Amino acid sequence: MDSHKAQREAIRRESRSLFNRLKSIIEDAQFVTEVADSLSQFPLVANERCGSWYIDPERRADQSVYFKSTDGHFGKWDFNMKRLNWHILKLVGSSGGCVIVDSTRNGKRIPDSLSKTVPIWCCVINSAIERHRLMALPAPLENATQEAGVEWDTQFHSLPSVVSRSEHAQIQERIPMFVERLMSSSVNMALASALLAKPLRPIWITHQTDLLHLKSIWSDYNSRSDDSFPYLPIFLVTASQAVPDGQGDREGYTYVQGSADDHEMWGQGLTVPLFWSNIERIAAIADQDECESTVREIVAAAKQVLREDDAATIGAGNLFDWIGDTGIAIGRVRSGRSPGCWEHFDVVVNCGAAEDPDNAGRPNYFYLPIPEGKKGQHDLGAQIPHILRIMAECYSKSRPRVLFHCAQGKDRSVGIALATLLQFYNNGDRSLVLNDPLTTKPRINKNDIQNALLFVQSFRPVARPSRATIKQLTTYFMSSK
């Protein structure tokens, strides 16, 4: 028993090694580059969070997606409206498909996100578009698609080697329920129908895929006028290699399967941009000690540059997103730094990010002390009535340009912005409705909250409020006064 325990501990040490993880990521990233070369006409999209580690930023599409493996776990299959990834349809439609990259840790050859979550998404969207067209067109859909030369596919597609026939059948049974959920939401199905001339079809790629054969099939895809490809391919690339116990011997290091997962636990401050901007230096590292010292130097240098460049980069478009014509923007912490933020906004609401001392004391700057994670769940709910009173006063005087920001612009600031939209903006046309939150609480249900989130995500795709954040909104708006 002692020898087995020692062996397990040795395996854990190897898997936690920063050196082994970075070397493994570099190895798998090379495979992703080879896939990209074979499918060069299709945009390369990262499935957040770990997929981005394997893609050279110079080749990566500006947009990413967020498909969770939990939505594909056995018995838990779901089409999650909070992770609708609607924004990617335009890219897929204009490019004729896309390549999505993810990885998985020990125990799987393909992550559930790629084997089931994305295929469910493809099937639901295909089925919803068919239903939308049947409702919109006077002629049967079959006639319309035949005239267009397109066979519209609404089947659920899976890999038999990964998904059993029984599991496949159980997922297929749930598709109509997922389609109904999508159709009853506020999403623009007419837009989706216009964007996609062909149905979506998942195609899986692993390290065992013959890339030369793959290239020969798809190299002339964009130039062909026949109907050999009656669908838009969604290539699902598993960057990691399936190895026994999740580890494999390499020359000079130990390969760790799915190394990029949970980088906060092992990265020591290293991020995807820092990794790729220093890729040659990292690739030349010879051992663990050198690796840790090099990463410390890279992270420290980046922090210094970040401090020096903050003011100059406030206006960069990727720091925040305007939410339609509401005058509301959601951004990450640097979007709220003074003095640059005041060129874009009249009111800045910091939803718990590190406070900018240059903003403290300004009359139109408001700081909400909402901690990140579970610690902030109750605090966010407590801040909702407070910020709504502030916004009511602001709206009574003018139509200000308002920034809600937190550290990343994904959770806390999204929750507070949603509260503002639900209180002051009409659920239909999103027009401003002045009311006093002390006396008037709109009639809100769960669908209204979901539709408001879909509206926000259509402009800020990275908006991903936690279940706890949505629960706080539900509690506030749906509880009796």
- Give the domain CATH number at 438: 3.90.190.10
In a domain, 403, yes or no: yes
In angstroms, how far is CA 113 from the centroid of its own chain?
12
**57 — alpha (psi -120 to 50), left (phi > 0) or beta?**
alpha
pLDDT at 345: 96
Cβ neighbours of 221 (radius 10 Å): 15
**432 near 395, Cβ under 8 Å?**
yes
**Structural contact between residues 402 and 391, judged by C-beta atoms closer than 8 angstroms:** yes
Q: Is the peptide bond before 174 cis (omega within 30 degrees of 0)?
A: no
Q: Given this model, what pLDDT does residue 264 score?
A: 82
Q: Are residues 197 and 302 in the same domain?
A: no
Q: How confident is the model at residue 172, as a pLDDT?
A: 97
Q: For residue 60, what is the DSSP state?
A: B
CA distance 145 to 156: 19
Q: What's the domain range around 445?
A: 314-478
Residue 458: DSSP 8-state: T
CB-count exposure of residue 111 (10 Å: 0-12, 13-18, 19+): buried
Has residue 256 been placed in a domain?
no
369 and 280 part of one domain: no
Domain assignment present for residue 415? The answer is yes
3-state secondary structure of 129: helix
Q: Is residue 396 part of a domain?
A: yes
Residue 137 confidence (pLDDT): 67
**Is pTM beyond 0.85 here?**
no
Which DSSP letter does residue 372 get? S
**β-strand 98-102 against 44-46: which pairing, if any?**
parallel
Q: Do 163 and 217 reside in the same domain of the chain? A: yes
- Asked if residue 336 and residue 227 are part of one domain, the reply reads no
Q: Can you give the C-alpha Rg of the chain in angstroms?
A: 24
Handedness of CA 133, 136, 140, 145 (dihedral sign): negative
Please list, in sequence order, all residues whose beta carbon lies within 8 angstroms of the beta carbon of residue 427, skipping any fewer than 6 positions away: 442, 448, 451, 452
Long-range contacts of 9-17 (CB under 8 A, 24+ apart): 11/245, 11/247, 14/247, 14/254, 14/256, 15/246, 15/247, 15/256, 16/266, 17/254, 17/256, 17/288
What are the tokens at 231?
Answer: 């669908």
Same domain, 37 and 184: yes
| DSSP string over 42-91 | S-EEEBTTGGGGGS-TTTB-S--B---GGGGSTT-----GGG--TTHHHH
3-class DSSP state of 210: coil
Q: What pLDDT was estimated at residue 308?
A: 46
Q: Which residue in 406, 360, 412 sits closest to 384, CA to CA? A: 412
Count of structural domains within the chain: 3
| Amino acid type, 396 | S
In a shared domain, residues 323 and 420: yes
Domain boundary among 282, 309, 336: 309
- Neighbouring CB atoms inside 10 A of 73's CB total 13
User: Is 294 within 8 Å of 23 (Cβ atoms)?
Assistant: no
In a domain, 250, yes or no: no
**Is the domain of 275 the same as that of 202?**
no
Residue at 246 is within a domain: no
pLDDT along the chain (481 residues), means of 10: 54 76 96 96 93 94 93 95 92 95 89 97 98 78 49 94 96 97 92 96 96 88 65 96 86 92 87 93 93 93 63 51 94 91 95 90 94 79 94 93 94 96 87 85 89 92 91 88 50
Model pLDDT, residue 8: 53
- If asked whether residues 90 and 227 sit together in one domain, one would say yes
pLDDT at 377: 74
- Identify whether residues 188 and 330 lie together within a single domain: no
Residues 302 and 383 in one domain: no
In one letter, which amino acid is 14? E
Q: Is residue 327 within 8 Å of 402, Cβ to Cβ? A: yes
The DSSP symbol for 425 reads: B
Residue where a domain terminates, one of 223, 238, 253:
238
In whole angstroms, what is the distance from residue 260 CA to residue 277 CA? 16
Last residue of one domain, picked from the residues 190, 222, 238: 238
What are the strands of the beta sheet with 320-322, ordered from one edge? 320-322, 328-331, 402-405, 347-350, 365-367
- Decide if 101 is inside a domain: yes
pLDDT value of residue 429: 77
Q: Which amino acid is at 5?
A: K
Name the token pair of 100: 């999505």
How far apart are the C-alpha atoms of 481 and 385, rounded to whole Å? 12
Within 358-466, where are the H helices? 377-397, 412-424, 446-457
Same domain, yes or no, for 281 and 331? no
Do residues 27 and 103 make contact, with C-beta atoms less than 8 angstroms apart?
no
3-class SS of residue 444: coil
Task: Output the pLDDT for position 11.
Answer: 53
pLDDT at 455: 93
In a domain, 373, yes or no: yes
Whether the bond between 339 and the residue before it is cis, its omega within 30 degrees of 0, is: yes
Same structural domain for residues 212 and 304? no
